[in-house]
């Protein structure tokens, strides 16, 4: 019996070694983490990230609120934050970008806001409240909404240059405020971002 076990031992070593290697090279999961300051700038990839979104929103809201033509508007104009078009070659959550701008503007108290995205839901709620299911003294209906005074729209474009191990990504965000009564653009501005990366080999 001892002889048999001693002969089997060398045969099992390669198997154990292979199993250990498979376990070491197998799928990994992020199981431990910690909260960080969301304003921390950290470039982990060459894609559009949350820092880009924050920098763009800060520039656009500051420029808009500081524009003399906007400061001269009477009262609290009703603003609709419209669509931000993505003209880059990568996926960018432009809805989150527009929401970030809207939140920053709303915090300023300078504008009142109408929600264009909720219009279908509002219309459906009107139908329900006018169906007889809701007490007449509390039912709401169409015809009393406040019309928007202006709409804020924008677009983001990019240029990517890659030579050898170097890559430069350039973003340009343009936004404009349009007076809905006249159709004239009353404010526009842009924010540029340029990021440079160097390709490195990634090992285990």
The residue extents of the domains of the chain are: 47-198
Whether the pLDDT of residue 144 is over 60: the answer is yes
Structure tokens at 139: 């039912």
Q: What is the mean pLDDT of the chain?
A: 84
Q: Give dist(CA 113, CA 102) in Å, integer.
A: 9
The 10 Å Cβ neighbour count of residue 165 is: 10
Report pLDDT for 23: 53
Please, which residues have CB within 8 angstroms of residue 44's CB and are 6 or more apart in sequence?
none
pLDDT digits (tens, 9 = 90+) for 150-198: 999 999 999 988 888 888 889 999 999 999 999 999 999 999 999 887 7
47-198: what CATH class? alpha beta
Burial 83-119 (b: 16+ CB within 10 A, else e): ebebebeeebebeebbbbbbebbeeeebbeebeeeee
- Please give the model's pTM, rounded to 2 decimal places: 0.74
pLDDT digits (tens, 9 = 90+) for 7-20: 555 565 555 555 55
Report pLDDT for 10: 56
CA-derived radius of gyration, the chain:
28
């Amino acid at each position: 019996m001892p002889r048999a076990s001693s002969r089997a031992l060398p045969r099992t070593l390669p198997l154990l070694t292979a199993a250990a290697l498979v376990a070491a090279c197998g799928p990994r999961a992020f199981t431990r983490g910690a909260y960080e300051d969301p304003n921390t700038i950290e470039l982990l990839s060459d894609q559009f990230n949350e820092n880009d979104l924050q920098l763009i929103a800060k520039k656009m809201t500051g420029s808009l609120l500081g524009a003399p033509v906007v400061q001269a508007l009477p009262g609290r104009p009703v603003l609709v934050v419209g669509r931000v078009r993505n003209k880059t070659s990568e996926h960018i959550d432009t809805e989150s970008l527009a929401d970030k701008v809207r939140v920053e503007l709303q915090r300023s108290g300078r504008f009142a806001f109408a929600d264009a995205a909720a219009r279908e839901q509002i219309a459906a709620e009107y139908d329900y409240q006018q169906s007889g299911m809701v007490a007449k003294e509390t039912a709401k209906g169409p015809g009393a909404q406040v019309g928007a005074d202006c709409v804020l729209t924008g677009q983001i474009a990019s240029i990517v240059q890659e030579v050898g191990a170097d890559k430069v990504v350039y973003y340009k965000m343009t936004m404009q405020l349009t007076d809905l009564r006249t159709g004239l653009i009353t404010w526009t501005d842009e924010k540029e971002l340029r990021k440079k990366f160097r390709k490195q080999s990634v090992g285990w």
